[in-house]
Amino acid sequence: MILSALFGGTSLNTLLQLIQNYNKDIVFNAFDYGPEENIRRYGTETSKTYDLKKVTTPVHIFWGENDLLANSKDVERIANSLGNLQTYHRVSSPKFNHLDFVFGNNVNEMVYKPMLSLLPPSN
C-alpha cells in the first residue's frame, strides 16, 4: 500500500530534474530541455540556476542523517545557499530517512511538533 503511493505526486520531469541537478552538482537548477528548447523557454542555451540567496521567506530545514535522497553534504549545501535560513534541525534518530517524514512511527514527536512550534501564532 505505501509503495503504491510513493511516486503518486510527482512527474517524470521532476525525477529527471533531480537527476540533472545531481549529475551537475548544482544546488537548484531549472529543468534542462536541451539547447534548442532552453533558448525558446529561457532565452539561453543552458537552464538557469536559481539564486536561493534571494529567498525571503523564512526557511527551517529538517533532515534525517539516514536519508539517501538528501544526505548531510547536500542538506548543508542547500542550507548555505538559502537567503533566509532560520533553523537547521537534524532529526535525532540515526535511522531516520526520507520516507520517515511521512510514514515514521515517531514523526509527530520528532518532526511535526517541533515544526509547528516554529510557526508564528495565528490571530
pTM of the model: 0.73
State the average pLDDT over residues 108-114.
93
- Quick check: 97 pLDDT over 50? yes
Mean pLDDT of the chain: 85
Number of domains in the chain: 2
26 and 61 in a single domain? The answer is no
57 and 35 in a single domain? The answer is no
Q: Please give the single-letter amino acid code of residue 109.
A: E
- Whether residue 1 is contained in a domain is answered as no
State the average pLDDT over residues 78-105.
90
- Whether residue 79 is contained in a domain is answered as yes
Q: Which three cell numbers stand for residue 56?
A: 525571503
Q: In whole angstroms, what is the distance from residue 49 CA to residue 83 CA?
A: 15
* Structural domain harbouring 65: 52-123
Q: In whole angstroms, what is the distance from residue 20 CA to residue 121 CA?
A: 39
State the average pLDDT over residues 76-103.
90
- Quick check: 63 pLDDT over 60? yes
Residue range 9-60, pLDDT digits in tens = 667 777 787 777 776 666 678 888 999 999 999 999 998 888 999 999 999 9
